[in-house]
Chain A
Amino acid sequence: MNIDNSKVHMGIAHMQFLFKQMLRIRRFEEKCAELYTQEKIRGFLHLYIGEEAVAVGVMQALKAEDAVFATYREHGHALARGLSMDKVMAEMFGKVTGSSRGRGGSMHIFDVEKRFYGGNAIVAGALPLAVGLALANKMQKKNDVVVCFFGEGAVAEGEFHESLNLAQLWQLPILFVCENNGYAMGTALAISESERHIFRKAQSYGLKSHAVDGMNVVEVESAATQYCQRIRKGDGPCLLECNTYRFRGHSMFDTQLYRESDEVEAWKRKGPIMKLQRWLEANGKLSSAELKQIEDQVADEINQSIAFAERSEIEDISDLYLGVYGESES
């Protein structure tokens, strides 16, 4: 693994932290897949396995005041943003203790305290919202960053183009992060886009933009940090394209007829967690005892979250209408 941490200071403790964050997401989702087969989790379940470096890397560039918009594949973003695993797991179980009272499930995790605005299951649907929140920040003379994650499939939607144009036109404090995993559900980028370098589309609107190896958490963090610094200074929006891959199907229903297993295996060999683990081990920064300790801590957190979700109540049906409308200002 080629690690260039010259541009941002990155100590070993931080590298271990990144490793643990990615591992939390990986193990959490592996457990979610199991719980799905046990019918504890229902509906759609879109796993982020393979793409953990993107969310974990980008979140390191953010402050508490910054805001995050994500997609329906957002368990990793929620965990990396600091939502409690208990609340995320309870949400998957549809329990009232979940981050959205169980109303949203896997695709609609919200936590306003963490400034985590979902969890949007309309492809590209969150981009205009993120632009609007960034507009509000600018109008209120705040330089807080709004980060909006989306897949490369969103690039085909008009809302992508409208949003990039508005963001650049109004010079908004927003970082667009394109998680390019090569497939919009089962449709390969090669058969859906005339220009396959997403960052070039952003450049055509005048945004600062480039692509990074989305399997390399350090590279992602470094790029996101530099972009966020630029955005905070008021130098306009940026787009970071992260080339990545999802190791599992689009959702739990996917039979993956559209790609070869060789391709999946080749990408797995570039896995972000495995690569960082090997680098840490090769440099004597992760002993087997330390690795076991991290794995144990992660397993404990997951087990605790499952126990929490299991013992939590479902929402009372009498609350069905709660939150259709709010209370009026006096």
Chain B
Amino acid sequence: MKNQSLTYREALKIAISEAMRNDERVFLMGEDVGNYGGCYAVSKGLLEEFGADRIIDTPLSESGFVGAGIGAAIGGMRPIIEVMTVNFSLLALDQIVNNAATLRHMSGNQIGVPLVIRMATGAGKQLAAQHSHSLENWYAHVPGIKVLAPATVADARYMLSMALKDPDPVILFEHVMLYNDSAATPKPEDCPDMHQACVRKAGNDISLITYGGSLSKTLHAASELEKQGISAEVVDLRCLRPLDTQTLFKSVDKTHRMIVVDEGWRTGSLASEICALVAEHCFWSLDAPPSRVCSKEVPIPYPQHLERAATPQVAQVVEAALTLLNRDVT
């Protein structure tokens, strides 16, 4: 019998509808999530199943409806808020950073904000400089929120229910290039606890640390390296705040070399933070300086060749690994 497959998009939709069936406190709110079916078609069909009281189309008021999601979470609901892209989420940054992230601590642990915010992120669809950025690190900088980057169909399928059980605001970043990815229908055990990083490919010579939309490129780079006799280990961070440093350090202590592949801009990036952590904690086991493959420091341009040139690609990861291993770059 043929194994059924599932796309990342479908996995997210199943996760949302399952959560809504299991818990009447859960609802979905955002721009075009209802009648339009979601700007990346994640919520297509959910309006018909759950009705307009639970699949709520909002006006273009990011601050207003994200803030309303925070208020509804305080009021005992379990909202899932969809923001079209991370770029638009900047209009709600005040609510996320000043309210969602602070309320519990600032109130002396009286108020929790059990809220999930989903948003699309990343480049690759030629959407130019206001729809393509990777700002996961902005949110990962802020204590009080958790940041997830599901990079596989299994994570898309099962991370949401974990995020909804969390007592605090969780932001889920969905890379735009992943929505059409497909895989054999995953099982719950394919998705470990949301706080854990995963070794996606074991290896001994070098650790390639990545997350989100860069995972598939990094795995591709690892198989290229394999052809040259280099055994690369690929670690998918999955949770960008709090970071699973145990898995990270364990990998680096084993391979003694590390490259971080991160679609964010290099300056002040998550990659920077990971390099700093590794330098602080794994210094004596390193055989080479920690290294980064990040986006170029430009707004993401529209034409395909420039967009590719601006963002991490397989060849650059391979080249960075060979350089770190003192191999000739072919």
Contacts and interface: CB of A to CB of B under 8 A. Distances in A.
Contact of A132 (B70, B104, B110, B166): B70
A166 B166 CA distance: 27
Nearest to A110: B107
Interface stretch (A18-26, A98-106, A188-196): A98-106
Contacts of A129: 67-68, 70-71, 74, 95, 99
Interface extent on B, as a size class?
35 or more
Nearest to A102: B108
Given A136-B74, A139-B27, A166 B112 contact: no
A134 B112 CA distance: 17
Interface stretch (A9-17, A155-163, A207-215): A155-163
A132 B59 contact: no
Contacts of B144: 324-325
Given A140-B76, A326-B167, A131 B108 contact: no
Contact of B73 (A131, A132, A166, A328): A132
A299 interface: no
Contacts of A102: 108
A329 interface: yes
Interface in A96-148: 98-104, 108, 110-112, 117-120, 122, 125, 127-137, 139-140
A89 to B, nearest CB: 15
B108 A99 contact: yes
Q: Is the interface of A mostly helix, strand, loop or mixed?
A: mixed
Contacts of B110: 100, 110-112
Nearest to A99: B108
Interface residues of A, number: 46
B38 interface: no
B63 interface: yes
B68 A100 contact: no
B5 interface: no
B94 interface: yes
B51 to A, nearest CB: 12
Interface string B69-106: 11111111101000000000000001100110001111
A125 B107 contact: no
A3 interface: no
Contact of B108 (A98, A125, A127, A140): A98
Nearest to B162: A328
B112 to A, nearest CB: 5
Contacts of A135: 68, 71-72, 75, 77
Given A169-B59, A324-B104, A101 B64 contact: no
Contact of B167 (A99, A132, A327): A327
B165 interface: yes
B234 to A, nearest CB: 28
Given A132-B67, A326-B167, A104 B73 contact: no
A128 B106 contact: no
A133 B75 contact: yes
Contacts of A137: 75
Contact of A136 (B72, B94, B167): B72
Nearest to A329: B165
Given A122-B94, A134-B71, A137-B75, A325 B104 contact: yes
Nearest to B75: A136
B66 interface: yes
A103 B108 contact: yes
A125 B53 CA distance: 25
Given A128-B70, A132-B69, A139 B77 contact: yes
Interface in B125-158: 143-144, 146
A324 B64 contact: no
Nearest to A315: B108
List the 5 closest pairs (A to B, CB-CB), nearest first.
A132-B71, A128-B67, A136-B75, A162-B64, A101-B108
Given A120-B99, A140-B75, A329-B166, 5 more contacts: A128-B66, A129-B99, A159-B64, A165-B59, A323-B105
